[in-house]
Structure 1
């Protein structure tokens, strides 16, 4: 009886242990399945430093959240080379697999970002390529910049065992790809089907669901990376086309306020424009608070120069501090110098127009002396000898036309009305204005 009881207890222990293991495995499987997540991050509009800041934050957050996959949904016409290089460094340095999913177009810098991802997927009808470097005017960049960019594109392709000739054909119009119908003078742009055929896309899928199914992540949690309002604003104000507009609006607004009494809408517009400029660059990580401090110091120095008589030292130092603060806040010194020159030129034109048509008003009145010292108010620089008019005297020296005459035992400095008058001639005073006495020779009669 005792042996049977012992056997029964042993059997129950085995059953309980097996049940516990099964429940634990089931629980872990369910937990692992629940914790599987895929983070979708949009890469849209122009590639610039504001997008770089957003992707840096979003990808860091995905890694911290334990994402199993990061998907960059790309639809961009391209953008700045420096921003593309920095974004690609972020993509390559991610501790989580990254897939570039082209949902529209991945042109120029967008193609470079895609090539640096671990995998590339494309929707049907999308394109990738045309990645030649161009300058601000839209023309091909110099050989040095072009060569460096070609090296970057080739390296990105080789990193994931892709044939580099297609990456080079995207950047160099002199290369021909006969099998794809790309002749000399053309840049390669791959369709989704072409990209898959040459190994530049691992999948061509219709939607997210199909993409996740291709990676056996059908049941994964989808996490959307959203661009905050502050990030949207920062991306807008740091766009290369917007920076000159903001600086010009700031300069013109303050210039108009300088000619207006009180403080009104133009001044508010000017300060708001400059505030947006610094906010965007601070938020995007291009500048620190030291730039704001330097700008404030410059503004104070300019105010001292305007309202307190000086020798121009405060003005020069103030202007230098303001320009330096903007150069420090910029991601490109050369581009910022161009933007500042545009803003300065427009502000100068505005100042000339305001000065011509509106005169001196507002703070400008403090810089110009308007009071006049008139005779009506008792200011006399030199008393006019009107009592001498029509009096006759004799020249003590020749007048040619200036000289001296003797009149009523008084020696006077005079000028002749016309030409030369000899010494000892009779002359009549015809005009006296201040210190200037004009005489005319008197014809002698018999």
Structure 2
């Protein structure tokens, strides 16, 4: 089977994987490859520069790569880029693996088992020894769960290495020891297929290359090339924004406090609408992010305790307990050590400080209100002086606070007599004649 035997130009789709591998980048690459298949593209080139990312997103991308009927070339570029961790797995799963000079790949150990007690990465000279020492100092996980994680990662990358005959021994070393390779060494060890300075040189080297795609032999014909740069659409950009852990965290807090404000002031509508929409967006983001449900529960408990302080004043006990639970829950909310998918500590401290300020302000208002005299109800009439302004059926009436009140007095009262309220109860005021 030969690509582009007609006179039309070869269609090459160019995609970019920049930054951490996550839900947004996975959605972008998967839809890009699928649309390239529908457009009968001759080749898809993915330029890679990533420190790694989430395992679930990486596996979704790899499933699409393996199932693709269009050949995919993963290309670590420009110079200075890397394909670390998840990027290495993606390179192994691609039909063609290429790198620019001064790039590197590797360090594919699952991040969950990273620990100061694990062996350090091998020295550069070990990488040039054709993997003769790959089993000498394997990582030793500290518990059964870590052992399962690393064994699963080893088996996974070994299967990917078998797909296109790449160096399996070094792949295992990259997982067990966190080994890395520069482009030149990767080519020598058959980890990648070629080195190219740019996309144009890459396509020139791929001209006439024979591949196996979806189980069928295939020859690339790239003599006349038309490059289609696939850009993220609004959906992908929106997904990229809301799946940022910091944005998702802010949306969650807006949602919680918006609903609380609506509960305090029913009928306001705006806080409830904003809070409801924000909370739903946050929950959507959390379903594709590595969320710790313990952290989420602690945040909810913390908010409830701080709100309870306003209803059941405990001189700060409930509030401080809620604030502590809130901070701890926020720190452990993202169940991953990957920096790109952790909530920034300054953001957590800012939200916690704002919550504490509101709590302290609320407590101060409560204490001040307890010390003040009553400003509502009939009790506020006690001590006030009034003049008898009317007589109704022999009972004197006075006008206070814009209303007529019946009064009861031990002395006989007449119009224009001055009285002072000594007790207020029901609809009759007890007065004394001045």
Q: TM-score w.r.t. structure 2 length?
A: 0.56
The residue that corresponds to 1:196 in the other structure is: 187
Runs of 4+ in 1 over 6 A off after TM superposition: 136-141, 370-378
Larger relative contact order (Cα-Cα within 8 Å, sequence gap ≥ 6): 2
Q: SS at 1:190's partner residue?
A: strand
- Alpha carbons of 1:274 and 1:212: their partners in 2 closer, same or farther (altered >3 Å)? same
Q: Which has the higher helix share?
A: 1
| Residues 1:32 and 2:37 are matched in the alignment | no
Please point out which of 311, 330, 333 is paired with 2:287: 330
The residue that corresponds to 1:102 in the other structure is: 76
Q: SS at 1:276's partner residue?
A: helix
Residues in 2 aligned to 1:47 and 1:144: alpha-carbon distance in whole angstroms: 22
Residues in 1 aligned to 2:113 and 2:381: alpha-carbon distance in whole angstroms: 62
- Alpha carbons of 1:94 and 1:371: their partners in 2 closer, same or farther (altered >3 Å)? farther
- Alpha carbons of 1:45 and 1:30: their partners in 2 closer, same or farther (altered >3 Å)? closer
Structure 1 residues not aligned, in runs of 5+: 1-28, 174-186, 282-328, 362-369, 379-446
Residues in 2 aligned to 1:94 and 1:81: alpha-carbon distance in whole angstroms: 20
- Root-mean-square deviation (CA), in Å? 3.6
Residues in 2 aligned to 1:61 and 1:261: alpha-carbon distance in whole angstroms: 48
Preserved contact between residue 129 and residue 189 of structure 1 (Cα < 8 Å): yes
- Please identify, of 42-51 and 194-203, the stretch whose mean Cα deviation from structure 2 is larger: 42-51
Aligned residues: 280
Residues in 1 aligned to 2:36 and 2:293: alpha-carbon distance in whole angstroms: 37
Preserved contact between residue 244 and residue 343 of structure 1 (Cα < 8 Å): no
Matches within 5 A, 1:279-358: 281=285, 330-331=287-288, 335=291, 337-348=293-304, 350-351=306-307, 352=309, 357-358=361-362
Deviation at 1:237, TM superposition (A): 1.7
Residues in 1 aligned to 2:297 and 2:115: alpha-carbon distance in whole angstroms: 20
Structure 2 residues not aligned, in runs of 5+: 117-140, 208-221, 310-355, 366-373, 383-434
Deviation at 1:54, TM superposition (A): 1.9
Residues in 1 aligned to 2:233 and 2:302: alpha-carbon distance in whole angstroms: 33
Deviation at 1:91, TM superposition (A): 0.3
| Residues 1:225 and 2:182 are matched in the alignment | no
Matches within 5 A, 1:240-259: 240=245, 242-259=247-264
Q: SS at 1:135's partner residue?
A: helix
Matches within 5 A, 1:118-267: 118-135=95-112, 142-173=146-177, 187-216=178-207, 217-240=222-245, 242-259=247-264, 263=268
Deviation at 1:267, TM superposition (A): 5.1
- Alpha carbons of 1:80 and 1:345: their partners in 2 closer, same or farther (altered >3 Å)? same
Matches within 5 A, 1:323-402: 330-331=287-288, 335=291, 337-348=293-304, 350-351=306-307, 352=309, 357-358=361-362
Deviation at 1:51, TM superposition (A): 2.0
Please point out which of 81, 94, 116 is paired with 2:93: 116
What is the CA deviation profile of residues 119-168 of structure 1, one whole-angstrom value per residue up to 9, with x for unaligned ones?
11111111111011123997877211111011111111122111211111
Deviation at 1:374, TM superposition (A): 7.5
What is the CA deviation profile of residues 60-89 of structure 1, one whole-angstrom value per residue up to 9, with x for unaligned ones?
100010111111111111111111112101
What is the CA deviation profile of residues 373-423 of structure 1, one whole-angstrom value per residue up to 9, with x for unaligned ones?
988999xxxxxxxxxxxxxxxxxxxxxxxxxxxxxxxxxxxxxxxxxxxxx
Residues in 2 aligned to 1:76 and 1:108: alpha-carbon distance in whole angstroms: 8
- Alpha carbons of 1:95 and 1:349: their partners in 2 closer, same or farther (altered >3 Å)? same
The residue that corresponds to 2:40 in the other structure is: 66
Residues in 2 aligned to 1:72 and 1:126: alpha-carbon distance in whole angstroms: 15
Residues in 1 aligned to 2:153 and 2:43: alpha-carbon distance in whole angstroms: 28
Residues in 2 aligned to 1:258 and 1:241: alpha-carbon distance in whole angstroms: 26
Q: Considering only CA atoms, is the larger Rg found in Structure 1 or Structure 2?
A: 1
- Alpha carbons of 1:67 and 1:152: their partners in 2 closer, same or farther (altered >3 Å)? same
Matches within 5 A, 1:399-418: none
Q: TM-score w.r.t. structure 1 length?
A: 0.55
Residues in 2 aligned to 1:277 and 1:213: alpha-carbon distance in whole angstroms: 46
- Alpha carbons of 1:57 and 1:343: their partners in 2 closer, same or farther (altered >3 Å)? same
